[in-house]
Amino acid sequence: MDLKGKNILVVGLARTGVAVARFLAAQGARVTVTDLRDETALAGPLEQLAGHPVTYVLGRHNEADFAAAETVVVSPGVPQESPYLQAARQAGREVITEIELASRFITAPLVAITGTNGKTTTTTLTGELFAGCGFRTFVGGNIGNPLIELVATGAAVDRVVVEISSFQLEWIRSFRPAVAVLLNITEDHLDRYATYQEYIDAKARIFENQTASDWAVLNVDDPIVAGLTGRTRAAVFPMSRQRELAEGIFYRDGVIIFRHAGRQERFPTDRFRITGVHNIENIMASLAAALLLGCDADRALACVEAFGGLPHRMELVRELDGVRYFEDSKATNVGSVEKALASFNDITLIAGGKDKGGSYAPLAGLVAERVRHMILIGEAKDRMARELGHLTDTRMTVTLEDAVELAASLTQPGGVVLFSPACSSFDMFRDYEERAQRFRAAVDALSPGGTP
């Protein structure tokens, strides 16, 4: 893709936008950056672009800029129905995201991982597997480094592993992973998509440009994912935690088993550091992608056994008075909380936050069966109480700290206090990380007997 002299508009000046603008300018493109924020709000990003030949349109968007650009590189945060993006498309202009742009310059085999839940853990672990098996590996995308940074550095790599969100997939054109992994699909981002089906369709685009020489790793335990088998031309490699497979990767009696083309590899799980049913699925997906692209089974097993997981995903914070306290602040949707509840019994669940528009009904069975007490916080607490409160002892508190104190007083020895919100954090906190830190601080402040 020759960029020299091309008129390219970059929409949004977050970290990825800065990386894109810098790369395009270095390639000789005529770059315009537009952002609804003004110069004061963008002081940091503008400083990073100092010295680069970039034109700025800040504090506003001009429809003429969108219509005049040969290519528009849009931040994933901008919705498809933006009138400015529609103006660009009506003018026949190409609209893409950074992932699409970067992929046009990458020749190494690429693993793309998406799903409502688990994609960050799976992406990170897959990168660890390739690196541990001797491949020069780049890991990024929706986590860590933008993919365009790999292209900009010109670094030689053997494998590329990227986490891909539905937002990033909305504007792909030729993006084609050698291995596409779809972990699961549950209701999420209904504040962005008009219907659940729109969200599903966006996720399914990960397979759009694959050919018969590529692989699609599908979690066939998830009925929606299984139903997408016909949406790819790639060779389907199924994964299942619930049943044995003649070809694919599955879990049985404490062992993950990989079967492919007459080859069988066994991965005992007893020494794994990350636990829970969701992590079995994440590990299976990572192993499938790694082994399909040349990783050695023994070295891969050693990497999995050494992997300690990610912050804010089912982390044990403390055990006090016979009660374990788990922090799962990154569980921002119902599907993620389902996996968490399935991993424990005798649970005091702390949940709530900013409502994302989906139904809480999928949690009903697990709440009735496994949750002894439920403590709700945040904007969503009233709707959660209406949908789930009748299933167990349910209380409400104003602050997260109050919820922790109440949980400590209610939970008997042998029980689990699980902070798994099922909502985003923006009603009360800057982000899920600040929310996690507040929970951990509240738990650490408890003294024996459940009082601070």
Same domain, 253 and 334: no
Same domain, 240 and 348: no
* pLDDT the model gives residue 379: 96
Closest CA relative to residue 182, chosen from 117, 102, 108: 117
Of the residues 242, 271, 306, which one is the last residue of a structural domain?
306
Same domain, 247 and 198: yes
Same domain, 171 and 241: yes
Look at the chain and report how many structural domains it folds into.
3
Same domain, 160 and 263: yes
* pLDDT the model gives residue 313: 80
CATH code: domain of residue 57: 3.40.50.720
In a domain, residue 452? The reply is no
CATH code: domain of residue 173: 3.40.1190.10
Domain extent, residue 18, equals 7-96
In a domain, residue 434? The reply is yes
Same domain, 245 and 115: yes
HSE (side-chain half, CA atoms, 13 Å) at 133: 23
Cβ-Cβ contacts under 8 Å for 263 (sequence gap 6 or more):
none
Known catalytic residues? 119, 142, 189
* pLDDT the model gives residue 46: 96
The residue written with tokens 């389907």 in the block is 236
In a domain, residue 450? The reply is no
Same domain, 76 and 141: no
In a domain, residue 2? The reply is no
* pLDDT the model gives residue 452: 53
Of the residues 271, 306, 341, which one is the last residue of a structural domain?
306
Could you write out the DSSP letters of every residue in 292-330? HTT--HHHHHHHHHH----TTSSEEEEEETTEEEEE-TT
* pLDDT the model gives residue 351: 98
* pLDDT the model gives residue 172: 96
Cα torsion for 422, 426, 428, 434, to the nearest 10°? 90
Q: What is the pLDDT of residues 82-135, one digit of tens each?
A: 999 999 999 999 999 999 999 999 999 999 999 998 999 999 999 999 999 999
Of the residues 281, 306, 331, which one is the last residue of a structural domain?
306
In a domain, residue 138? The reply is yes
CATH code: domain of residue 379: 3.90.190.20
Same domain, 398 and 301: no
pLDDT in tens, the chain (452 residues): 799 999 999 999 999 999 999 999 999 999 999 999 999 999 999 999 999 999 999 999 999 999 999 999 999 888 888 999 999 999 999 999 999 999 999 999 999 999 998 999 999 999 999 999 999 999 999 888 999 999 999 999 999 999 999 999 999 999 999 999 999 998 887 778 889 999 999 999 999 999 999 999 999 999 999 999 989 999 999 999 999 999 999 999 999 999 999 999 999 999 998 888 889 999 999 999 999 999 999 999 999 999 988 778 888 899 999 999 999 999 999 988 998 998 899 999 999 999 988 899 999 999 999 999 999 999 999 999 999 999 999 999 999 999 999 999 999 999 999 999 999 999 999 899 999 999 999 999 999 875 55
Q: Which two tokens stand for residue 422?
A: 């099922």
Cβ-Cβ contacts under 8 Å for 258 (sequence gap 6 or more):
249, 264, 265, 266, 267, 287, 288, 291, 297
In a domain, residue 1? The reply is no
Same domain, 292 and 337: no
| Segment holding 289, helix H or strand E | helix 277-292
Could you write out the DSSP letters of every residue in 418-430? EE--SSBSTTTSS
Contact (CB, 8 A) for 73 and 146: no
In a domain, residue 24? The reply is yes
Same domain, 377 and 290: no
Q: What is the pLDDT of residues 42-77, one digit of tens each?
A: 999 999 999 999 999 999 999 999 999 999 999 988
Same domain, 275 and 396: no
- pTM listed for this prediction: 0.81
d(CA 16, CA 9): 14
In a domain, residue 336? The reply is yes
d(CA 260, CA 60): 54
Same domain, 273 and 321: no
d(CA 144, CA 126): 14
Q: In 3-state terms, the chain is what percent helix, strand and coil (to 5)?
A: 35, 25, 40
d(CA 145, CA 354): 27
